[in-house]
């Protein structure tokens, strides 16, 4: 039963990651018009989030001992990446991006960005939960 529950959480996290990536891709054109580097960030975030979601969905790690050996690190990478994106979003809404033509001009809130941050916060929560479950399982095996 534990395995099915973990798999369900992984699929939910994968869906949220792909969804957040799609929202970043949708925001890309607008940000490219503002400055190429802003657009590059949005497209990079989109690729990273969709790739991460697909890795979770397919458990697509063949090397390094397979999924069971690397999933803890995959969860941790997802936590770090999404917390970084959320943190950067907070900065852009409070003091503004420190570079580019609109440096230090805070951005307003929009439907896409608030939706993506909500999905990312839930995603981080799921990944923290998955990490906790994995650590408990590893500790039980070590006994």
pLDDT mean across residues, the chain: 93
In tens, the pLDDT along 48-101 reads: 999 999 999 998 766 667 888 889 999 999 999 999 999 999 999 999 999 999
pLDDT at position 36 is 97
Residue 129 contacts residue 2 (beta carbons within 8 Å)? no
pLDDT at position 69 is 85
- Between 33 and 141, the higher pLDDT residue: 33
CA distance 128 to 60: 20
In this prediction, residues 22-35 reach a mean pLDDT of 97
pLDDT at position 25 over 90: yes
pLDDT at position 44 is 98
In the chain, % of residues over pLDDT 90: 83
The CA angle 71-66-79, to the nearest 5 degrees, is: 15
pTM value?
A: 0.93
Q: In terms of C-beta density within 10 A (0-12 exposed, 13-18 middle, 19 or more buried), how is residue 123 classed?
A: buried
pLDDT at position 1 is 42
pLDDT at position 12 over 90: yes
In this prediction, residues 36-46 reach a mean pLDDT of 97
């Amino acid at each position: 039963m534990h395995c099915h529950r973990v798999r369900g959480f992984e699929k939910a996290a994968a869906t949220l990651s792909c969804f957040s990536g799609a929202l970043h891709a949708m925001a890309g054109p607008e940000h490219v018009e503002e400055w190429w580097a802003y657009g590059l960030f949005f497209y990079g975030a989109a690729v990273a989030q969709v790739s991460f979601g697909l890795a979770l969905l397919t458990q697509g790690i063949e090397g390094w001992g397979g999924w069971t050996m690397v999933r803890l690190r995959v969860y941790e990478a997802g936590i770090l990446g999404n917390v970084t994106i959320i943190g950067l979003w907070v900065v852009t809404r409070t003091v503004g991006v420190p570079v580019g033509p609109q440096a230090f001009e805070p951005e307003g809130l929009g439907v896409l960005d608030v939706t993506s941050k909500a999905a990312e916060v839930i995603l981080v929560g799921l990944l923290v939960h998955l990490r906790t479950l994995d650590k408990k399982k590893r500790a039980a095996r070590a006994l």
